[in-house]
Amino acid sequence: MQNEFQLLEDKKSIDQLMLTYFSIISGRYLKKALSAFKEKEGYGQGIVFISFKNDLDDYDIAQLPRPLDDKHVLVELGFPAVEIDQIAYLDFKTFYAYLDENVKKEAERNPEGNAYKGLLGNVLIPNTRITKLKCQ
């Protein structure tokens, strides 16, 4: 992790960041990502990563513009996709809304769709009143 970041806070930029994340992760990596998220562990491939607080060591946390807490995930897009790493802090409710939307899209395209929905249903949402996402 480097110490120069572009912090994304507007919905349009975060939507684009998450679109990039899921365009890389969907398909062959989505099951691995959902399994990691179930354990509150981050997952990424190449230039995109989602991290939970426990994924980062003290050095990584010190490099961030603000600390990552137990109520957020960190989404990072790195070089060569962008000149300066882009990061966004998402609260769990927002993160899981993106997750739910993209798992449903993948389930429609993939014959293993029910497996994705089942994995999504096992992802718990910490520190909220919601304990599991409803899969439709």
* Predicted model pTM: 0.84
* Closest-CA residue to 85 (of 55, 34, 51, 41): 51
Judge contact between 50 and 42, C-beta under 8 A.
yes
Q: Residue for token digits 């960190």?
A: 74
Residue 124 has a pLDDT of 61
pLDDT beyond 90 at 43: yes
pLDDT digits (tens, 9 = 90+) for 60-101: 989 999 989 999 999 999 988 899 999 999 999 999 999 999
- pLDDT at position 107 is 82
